[in-house]
Amino acid sequence: MDLHMNGRTALVTGAGRGIGLSVVRSLAAEGVRVVGAARRPTPELRATGATAVAVDLADPEGAGHLVREAVAELGGIDILVNNVGGGDGGLTGGFLDTTEAQWAEVVGLNFFAAVRVTREALPALLESRGAIVNVSSTGARVPHGGPIAYTTAKAALTAFGKALADEFGPRGVRVNTVSPGPVRTAMWEGEGGHGAELAASMGISHADLVAGLPAAMGMVIDRLVEPDEVASLATYLVSPLAAATTGTDHLIDGGAVKTA
């Protein structure tokens, strides 16, 4: 399907791997010129043809640097995908096990990074009457479905997107949210990721945890969500074909969340 995006420009954060890398590939396939931001740009990101920018968005100064680089490279920004997130390492305990430093790291990366990048990018997006997609999580709706600091930060991100849509919709900027369930990324499948740590804390093998995850999360499909599936949804939402869609939160979770 032609999404009528050829020649548009996009900034994607957390673009080195996983969902972010898939979003870059999906946008590039539609003829979009992309700047992909990553703490450590990967060969896979560079192979997409996107302009890779190395930046640590946990640093409050990183957002301004990134957006200046993107505007200089692209001449403007039509699309922003706030995908950067994570910081879930070591968060297998509960509320009383989560330290102040862990709260600051996780909320900073999963919420404040999007706040800062959006604030810096909004002048360009207002000029282009552009579109934003924030990548949240089903954990925002089902807070017990992940580490408390992570799901709390994602809930804030989802609310942030709705507030932005209401404020800036009349000025031509659309804002939507994509909320995946468990996705086949390093967070669950990587040897040092949250899935491996959770398996160890439960006394089961990492392979068994991943295999049982769809059922444990209440998914009605027998597999994890693919990054490309999330990317396809995000790409549609920033396209002109979704011109009347704003302020929405789209689940892509294999039927895990049962409420509206």
Q: Would you say 30 and 236 are in contact if contact means Cβ atoms under 8 Å apart?
A: no
Q: Which of 32, 37, 111, 150 is an active site residue?
A: 150
The dihedral of CA 226, 227, 230, 232: what is its sign? negative
Provide the β-strand partners of residue 134.
82, 177
Helix (H) or strand (E) holding 234: helix 227-237
Q: Would you say 161 and 176 are in contact if contact means Cβ atoms under 8 Å apart?
A: yes
Tell the residue number behind the tokens 């659309």, with chain if given: 174
Tell the residue number behind the tokens 């995946």, with chain if given: 180
Is 150 tagged catalytic? yes
Amino acid at 247: G
Q: Which residues are catalytic?
A: 150
